[in-house]
Copies of this chain bind each other. A is one copy, B any other.
Amino acid sequence: MSGRANSVDCKVCVIRHTGICAALTAEELDQLSRIAQVRVFKPGQVITRQADTPDFFASIVSGIVLLIETASDGRRQIVGLLFPPDFVGRPFGSRSSYAAVAASELSLCCFPYPTFGRFLNTHAGLHRRLLEHTLDELDAARKWMFLLGRKSAGERVASFLLLAARRATSFGCANNGLSNFARFSLPMTRSDIADCLGLTNETVSREITRLRRREVIEIRDNRNVVVPDLRALRLVAGDDPDSLSGMVN
């Protein structure tokens, strides 16, 4: 079902200062580390099945998680794209209405129920951080609703590439933070991207080819993307110039 559990040293964790645990003192962190377990997953591996009740809450340490809703007739929609230090599951537990799947090599820092809930109730700072993070996710989901409800296929694909560019570090390869240039590698198939954007894989493919022909992007090996001018891509994405668009802020 998942990789083996490792003992945890939170002090040297890569998300120590960005994750929800950033709200904790060194001492509190020590307590937390005693209930934490790191688990690793392979690409495509299922973390939680739709309608399942998982037995842990987790922070993403590295890798990407897809939240996927599948209807009984097979239609799929990816309803969430999670990066470090996002979290998977609900802090007090509950049945999940969508599946969580690893989209890459993944490592999760898992906190079992109900221990984590008790810990949370006695640490207001952590509680608050979790609330703020959830509110951010909600804002991001609502932004994505605009994309799904109102954007054209071309705008959707461009928006997705912008999201990938912004998350380049998680997507693999490096890019230059503030520059107008980006280079990254896509971890998902055209079908996955389509399920994310409410399109078909054919349409995604066509729109990518069109962007390539217009020289807004360059692609090597179907995976490695170069965006010479992010502003041009942003223009195609149809975002308001001031807003920081994307599924995750």
Contact = CB atoms under 8 A, between A and B. Distances in A.
Interface string A221-243: 00000000000000000101111
Interface stretch (A5-13, A131-139, A174-182): A131-139
Contact of A149 (B67, B72, B77, B146): B77
A197 interface: yes
B149 A198 contact: yes
Contacts of A2: none
A235 to B, nearest CB: 12
A120 to B, nearest CB: 8
**How many copies are assembled?**
2
A232 B139 CA distance: 34
A139 B71 contact: no
A19 interface: no
A79 B145 contact: yes
A124 B79 CA distance: 30
Contacts of A75: 146, 150
B134 A138 contact: yes
Interface in A85-125: 90-92, 94, 97-98, 120-122, 124
